[in-house]
């Protein structure tokens, strides 16, 4: 069974590869409609996360971006020793 972990939550995904691709593609496409009330930019990372389950290129892109964000976040943290 496919699932993704977001923080402490686990989200179940469809078992079918085509269904996961359709879901991820729909979320990415829906992010283009972010000016509408229901749609938003939150759909882009969610769609990429779903697509990364099956696509090595998207998985690599997601992982590189995660590393960059974590490094950036650590530089913003206050050092408790100072």
Q: Check residues 20 and 2 and name the one with the higher pLDDT.
A: 20
Domain layout of the chain by residue ranges: 3-76
Q: How many CB atoms lie within 10 A of CB 11?
A: 12
pLDDT digits (tens, 9 = 90+) for 59-76: 999 899 989 999 999 998
Q: 4 pairs with which residues across the strands?
A: 11
pLDDT digits (tens, 9 = 90+) for 25-65: 999 998 888 888 878 888 888 898 899 888 899 899 989 99
Distance separating alpha carbons of residues 33 and 51, to the nearest angstrom:
19
For position 82, what pLDDT does the model report? Answer: 57
Q: Write down the pTM of the prediction.
A: 0.72
């Amino acid at each position: 069974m496919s699932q993704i972990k977001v923080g402490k939550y686990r989200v179940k995904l469809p078992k079918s590869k085509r269904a996961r691709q359709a879901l991820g593609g729909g979320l990415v496409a829906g992010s283009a409609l972010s000016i509408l009330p229901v749609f938003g930019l939150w759909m882009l990372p969610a769609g990429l996360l779903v697509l990364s389950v099956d696509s090595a290129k998207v998985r690599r892109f997601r992982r590189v971006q995660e590393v960059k964000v974590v490094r950036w976040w650590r530089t913003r943290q206050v050092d408790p020793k100072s």
